[in-house]
Amino acid sequence: MCGRMAITLPHQAMTEVFEATASNDLPDVPNYNVCPTVQVHAVTSAEGTRRLRSMRWGFVPHWYDTPTDGPLIINARSETVAKKPAFREAVRARRCLIVASGFYEWKREKGETPQPWYVTRVDGGPMVFAGIWQDWARGETALTGCAVVTCEANADMAPIHDRLPVILDPADWPLWLGEAGHGAAPLMRPAGKGTLSFRRVSTAVNSNRAQGPDLIAQVASGD
């Protein structure tokens, strides 16, 4: 799964990387502890134009009467995303790129405090997740929410966790955004071996209130 991330890339750099026009309500950067329900950076495409947008990290199905009317949905499993009523229309028609610098995952051992790891790309590029999004409104309350599509872990991730966000390479972006056709299902696969870099980080990030660059600094095992 993916339950926490960091984003340090400046807005101008994001617009250049994705060749996108930026909305004027983007979340502040850097943010070293991006948590569910906050606004994240997402790229959508329509009529040949890409937009860098702000979306709530938390997909709200259209039948919810309030955003908290059911479980908080921050991830969608690739194996079932095209079948579940909450997601099947979005994965056909409303796909997005969710932008991060890296994400956190926790290794859980019985009887021990979960140990956080920070995961980035080996090549230093932005971490771009396959996402789906949806507008939701009731009365005067309206929001646009998104979820990260996840898949089974690759061999590198498996010792830490059994799930992994679907991570898209630049060549994949046009297909996921619907610019290069509609057959995006083959993209919902684990990242190739050697794509990701892992480092142990401080348990300070276990608090969703923690902030600052120290959160992504490597620490020795056991710290």
SS3 labels along 2-47: CCCEEECCCHHHHHHHHCCEECCCCCCCCEEEECCCCEEEEEEEEC
* Collapsed DSSP state (helix, strand, coil) of residue 109: coil
Q: What is the chain's pLDDT, residue by residue, as a tens digit (223 residues)?
A: 789 999 999 999 999 999 999 999 999 999 999 999 999 999 999 998 999 999 999 999 999 999 999 999 999 999 999 999 999 999 999 999 999 999 999 998 887 889 999 999 999 999 999 999 999 999 999 999 999 999 999 999 999 999 999 999 999 999 999 999 888 999 999 999 999 999 999 999 999 999 999 999 999 865 5
pLDDT at 221: 67
Beta partners for residue 118, in sequence order:
104, 199
φ and ψ of 92, to 5 deg = -80, -40
Report the predicted TM-score, pTM, of the whole model to 2 decimal places: 0.96
Q: What is the pLDDT of residue 113?
A: 84
Number of Cβ atoms within 10 Å of the Cβ of 68:
11
170-207 confidence digits (pLDDT tens): 999 999 999 998 889 999 999 999 999 999 999 999 99
Taking residue 155's Cβ as centre, other Cβ atoms within 10 Å add up to 10
Instruction: Spell 179-196 as b/e; 16+ CB within 10 A means b.
Output: eeeeebeebbebbeeeeb
How far is Cα 35 from Cα 37, in angstroms, rounded to an integer? 7
- Could you give all domains of the chain from N- to C-terminal order, each with its CATH number? 5-102+124-192 (3.90.1680.10)
